[in-house]
Amino acid sequence: MPALPPAPNLLAFEAVARRRSFALAAAELHLTASAVSHQVARLESLLGVRLFERSAHGVRLSAAGEQYLARVGGALAAIASATDELRLGVRNSLFVHSAPSLASLWLIPRLHGFAQAFPDIALNLSAAHTHSDFALGQADIDIRYGVPAWGDLVVEPLFEERIVPLASPAFIKAHRLRRIEQLLDVPLIQSNVSVVQWSDWFGSWSDRRAPERFPLRFDRAHMSIDAASHGLGVALESTTNAAGHIADRRLRPVFGLDKCVRTKAHFAVYPARHARRPAVEAFLHWLHGEAAKSQG
């Protein structure tokens, strides 16, 4: 196993990075600011990179520091959580990481059912575009979005999604949207991380080309969906993620559900060894059941 940096060095780094202050980190760790500074300096020397940029105005993470915090911060949080749970006698815990939009729009509204079915499982949910690192013990299951290319992990598709143009009923009425070519005369909302882009949709349903510039761009599907529901334009999004907005009539498929591009882009991902844990098995069974209901 590769040598790890000393724990005091990592704890000092994480505290300074989180608090953006050596003095505040020192107070939290019950050390002097000088001692914290020495711990960080030792870590920087060990890694051979500068983790912070120091100036008269304070301290901020360097580019290398930002990358290191993204990995180390999650690992330290997992260790702290596991330690607290062990102290409190909570042993049947489950750590799930998810793509942000699916977590907020689809998963969280259904978690009450999981809690009722498995009251003995303590569920910890985190969400980010970056994938969890199973080698660092950051998650038991990762619900990922994208094109699957994840090595020797088990990859299970959740559902097939329909990607359609969505807009508020008021926007559709105001712009009298009836024909596909009319989309070129209204604001189209771009979802930067979407697997299906406007060029894909136009390529499937029109001989017109999608515009190259968009007045609004977002890096979260839920922001694109909210923007469309507020009448800012037409979003190209999944009816699975937008199901609540469609049910509440805040959004409507502009040309119906048939004018869609179908894709499988959300996956439950985990190392095969994790499947032996009863909590993981229970969650996967429940997750696929909920996914099947969404297809109905």
pLDDT tens column, 96-133? 999 999 999 999 999 999 999 999 998 999 998 888 87
List the structure tokens of 250.
């805040």
Those residues whose C-beta lies under 8 Å from the C-beta of residue 183, and which sit 6 or more positions away, are: 165, 177, 234, 254
Length of the chain: 296
Nearest to 174 by CA among 184, 165, 164, 186: 186
What structural domains and CATH numbers belong to the chain?
Answer: 7-70 (1.10.10.10), 92-158+265-295 (3.40.190.10), 161-263 (3.40.190.10)
- How does pLDDT run across 77-101, given as a tens digit for each residue? 777 766 655 554 556 789 999 999 9
Do 274 and 142 form a contact (C-beta atoms < 8 A)?
no
The model's confidence at residue 232, banded by pLDDT at 50, 70 and 90, is very high
Q: What is the pTM of this model?
A: 0.70
Nearest to 72 by CA among 26, 127, 9, 2: 9
Do 36 and 21 form a contact (C-beta atoms < 8 A)?
no
Q: How many other C-beta atoms lie within 10 A of the C-beta of residue 131?
A: 17
List the structure tokens of 74.
């999650």
- How does pLDDT run across 141-159, given as a tens digit for each residue? 999 999 998 888 999 999 9
Those residues whose C-beta lies under 8 Å from the C-beta of residue 80, and which sit 6 or more positions away, are: none
Lowest mean pLDDT among 47-51, 137-141, 272-276: 137-141
